[in-house]
Amino acid sequence: MTEIQAGFDWSDRYLLGYAPMDDTHREFVTLVDALLKVPDAELEQALTAFAEHAVAHFEQEDRWMRGSDFPATDCHVDEHARVLVSVREVQQELAKGHVDIVRKLAQALMNWFPGHADYLDSALAAWMVKRSHGGKPVVFRRDSAKA
């Protein structure tokens, strides 16, 4: 059995102020956390759930970008596509019995997500809020020193 990795917990630092995106990101974090923690026997189911989420998540953001003429659409869509290619490759490797690669993918996603959210998704969130409400996102975060 593969050693269980440390988890990936949701943090208010990931909030971007666009509720539909924040909700999707919470689910993303939960599903990556599952990839890190589930027993090997449950990895195929957890990876399938993550893959289905990733497709819907990225398609949703891609629709927002294209539908609103977001300036950085191509770069953002390309990054989503690269992640999906990796997920498909890992699904193929898991089907061959290579369990450890799923944990490596989860670790890579855990490392990738904060930067993606901070740069590409935060710009999209600001764009969507400006277009729908005429202003910038407002984000209330808990003081992590008191938590």
Structural domains in the chain plus CATH codes: 18-133 (1.20.120.50)
User: Could you tell me the pTM of the whole model?
Assistant: 0.87
Q: What pLDDT sits at residue 78?
A: 97
- CA 95/CA 93 separation, integer angstroms: 5
DSSP 50: H
Q: Is 8 helix (H, G, I), strand (E, B) or coil?
A: coil
Q: What pLDDT sits at residue 130?
A: 87
Give φ, ψ of 92 to 5 degrees.
Answer: -65, -40
Q: What is the token pair recorded at 17?
A: 């102020």
- CA 107/CA 104 separation, integer angstroms: 5
- CA 102/CA 147 separation, integer angstroms: 31
- CA 29/CA 135 separation, integer angstroms: 27
Which residues of the chain carry a pLDDT beneath 70? Answer: 1-5, 133-147
State CA 83 to chain mean position distance.
10
